[in-house]
Structure 1
Amino acid sequence: MLPKRVIGILTWREGLRFEEPAYLRKLVQTGQKLGAEIYLFSHQDVNVSARKIKGFIPKPNGGWMSKSFPWPEVVIDRYRRRVKEYIRLRNSDLFFFANSPFSKKWRVTNLLASDERVKRWIPETHVYEKGKVRNMLARHGLVYVKPGNGTGGRSILRVKSSGKDYSLSGCDKKHKHHVARIDTVEGVEKWVKTWVEEQRIRDGNFLVQQGLDLGLLRKHVVDVRLLIQKDERGEWTVTGCAIRMGEKGSATSNLHGGGKAIPFEWLMSRRFGEERGELIKQECYRLAFEVANTLEDYFGRMMEFGLDIGVDVDGRAWLIEVNPKPGREVFRQMGDMALYRKAIARPIQFALYLARNQARFLSL
């Protein structure tokens, strides 16, 4: 009998507290079903001299148990905090990682906006500075101000020019909604400046992005969450996509902020007709493959991306954001549990593929 492949999942840990514990529990359980020896660990759990890891696995009745595990053949990086110990570990050559380190949103946006393969899908985006909101409003009438290092739909502000005044709406760090109506562009600049100062995450910058008319449903912002992953053969494949529909009047479609997940085909065929809806889906898939391949060229081997894609009222697809450590709750919320399970299994299947073929990858 062949020995089990050893897969480690690198994540943040404090005591027995983990980030995204429900997902990580399912990831480890799925790996065990697929025949892997698999465990969670953090930067403080690595014993280099003994080539052992203090790893954690779920207890059957909840909670976590730890024991000493063998050195992982492949490590899946799910660490979502840029603490110095994590960065030091990522920059070492201790492990063979399934996914490479990524960069801040602004650098990624800049790279994609200047690459011939994908730039047609990128909305105009700039780093926030004095006067930038005024300039962008004059060009587009609608702009979004958002953190360059934020997640979960927090701290995103929507600014719309409405005749002689301006309407602003946003969701702060604590998911509290804010709205304002202001009658001068100078007042808008002042309001946005205060928002940026109060909502800044650590030392991160803010971005000002061309607003898109994503009102495919009246009074709701909607966008597409698409998950593209490497499969058991190491090839990019679209696992699935769904529509995220924001709360009535919300500036974002994010599920954490009260949004709902609905099937892609249902909304697109209702809005554009079945044939056009299928063409829009194909365009979203094409966008995803091009973006995944382009980013892999820049950053090295990657494993999965969650893409937020806006489809405007004319049926044109736009890339809003790329997340290299995406969630997959959209499929569960939509009620497609088979797709949800597949989305959890794929990272493990890809890691097992890498473990089997590690010698070939290390020689590249």
Structure 2
Amino acid sequence: MLPKRVIGILTWREGERFEEPDYLRKLVQTGQELGAVVYLFSHQDVHVQDKKIKGFLPKPNGRWVSKWFPWPEVVIDRYRRRVREYIRLRNSDLFFFANSPFSKKWRVTKLLASDERVRRWIPETHVYAQGMVRSMLARHALVYVKPGNGTGGRSILRVEKRGKEYCLSGRDKKHAHHTARLDTAVGVEKWVKRWVEEQQIRDGNFLVQQGLELGLLRKHVVDVRLLIQKDECGEWSVTGCGVRIGENGSATSNLHGGGRAIPFEWFLSNRFGVEQAESIKSECYQLAYEVAKTLEDYFGRMMEFGLDIGVDVQGRAWLIEVNPKPGREVFRQMGDMQLYKMAIARPVQFALYLAKNQARFLSL
């Protein structure tokens, strides 16, 4: 009998506290069902001299048990915090990773905007600086100010010019809702400057991005969350997509901020008709494949991306954001448990594919 494949999942840990524990628990269990040894570990669990890892497995009571595990053949990186020890580990050659390190949102946006394969889908975006919001509002009636390394819809500010008035709304780091109405561009600059200073996340800069007319529903922000992943044969494949509808008056559609998810085809067909909805879906898929291949060219091997895609009132698709370590709750919220399970299984299936073919990849 062949020995089981060994897959490690690198993540942040403090004691028995893990980031995204529910998802990681399901990832380990899925790996076990696929016949592999799968465990969680963090930077402090690596014992190089003994070539062993202090790994963690979920217990039925919701807690975790630790034990010694053999060195992983492949490591899935789910670490979401850029701490020094993690960066040092990623820059070492200790492990064979399923996914390469990624970059900050601004660098990614700049790369995509300069690549002829994908730039037609990228809204105008600049690094925040004094005067930039005012300059962008002269060209666009709607702009967004957002952190270059944020996540979960936090600290994103919506700034809209309505006649002679400016309407601002956003959620802060703690998801509290803020609004303001101002009557001068100078007043807007001062308000935004204070927002950026208060909402700064670690060492990240802020971006100012062209707002899109995504009001497919009155008073709600609507966008598409698409998940594209490598499959068990190592090929890019769109797992699925759903429409996210933001809370009434919210600047984002994020599910953490009170948004809800509904099936893509149902919503788009009702809004644009079956034929145009099919065309929009086709464009979203094309966008996803081109973005995945382009980013892999720049950063090296990747295994999945969550894409936030805006569909404007004319039915044109725009890339809002790319996440290399995405969630998959959109499928559960839609009630599509088959897609949800596939979205969890695919990272492990791809890691197993890499483990079986590791010699070939290491020789490239």
Q: TM class by shorter-chain length? A: over 0.9
CA-atom RMSD in angstroms: 0.4
Residue aligned with 2:322, SS: strand
Aligned equivalents of 2:267, 2:159: Cα separation in 1: 26
Q: Is structure 2 residue 5 aligned with structure 1 residue 10?
A: no
Number of the residue aligned with 1:362 = 362
Structure 1: where are the runs of 5+ without partners?
none
Determine what percentage of the aligned residue pairs are the same residue.
Answer: 84
AA aligned opposite 1:33: E
Aligned equivalents of 1:114, 1:134: Cα separation in 2: 24
Aligned equivalents of 2:53, 2:310: Cα separation in 1: 42
Alignment of 1:261-276 (within 5 A): 261-276=261-276
Alignment of 1:276-355 (within 5 A): 276-355=276-355
Alignment of 1:197-208 (within 5 A): 197-208=197-208
Residue aligned with 2:108, SS: helix
Residue aligned with 1:261, SS: strand
Number of the residue aligned with 1:39 = 39
Aligned equivalents of 1:202, 1:298: Cα separation in 2: 25
Structure 2: where are the runs of 5+ without partners?
none
Aligned equivalents of 1:42, 1:173: Cα separation in 2: 25
Could you tell me how far 1:60 is from its partner in structure 2? 2.2
Q: Is structure 2 residue 75 aligned with structure 1 residue 72?
A: no
Could you tell me how far 1:340 is from its partner in structure 2? 0.3
TM-score relative to the length of structure 2: 1.00
Alignment of 1:233-252 (within 5 A): 233-252=233-252
Residue aligned with 2:343, SS: helix
Could you tell me how far 1:202 is from its partner in structure 2? 1.1
Could you tell me how far 1:154 is from its partner in structure 2? 0.2
Number of the residue aligned with 1:157 = 157
Number of the residue aligned with 1:103 = 103
Partner deviation per Cα, 1:130-185 (whole Å, 9 max, x = no partner): 11001100101100000000000000000000001100000100001111100000
* 4+ long deviations beyond 2 Å: none
Could you tell me how far 1:61 is from its partner in structure 2? 2.5
TM-score relative to the length of structure 1: 1.00
Aligned equivalents of 1:200, 1:236: Cα separation in 2: 35
AA aligned opposite 1:239: T
Q: For this pair of structures, how many residues does the alignment match?
A: 364
Aligned equivalents of 1:75, 1:69: Cα separation in 2: 13
Could you tell me how far 1:62 is from its partner in structure 2? 1.9
Number of the residue aligned with 1:30 = 30
Number of the residue aligned with 2:116 = 116
Number of the residue aligned with 2:52 = 52
Residue aligned with 2:333, SS: helix
Residue aligned with 2:154, SS: coil
AA aligned opposite 2:295: L
Could you tell me how far 1:203 is from its partner in structure 2? 1.8
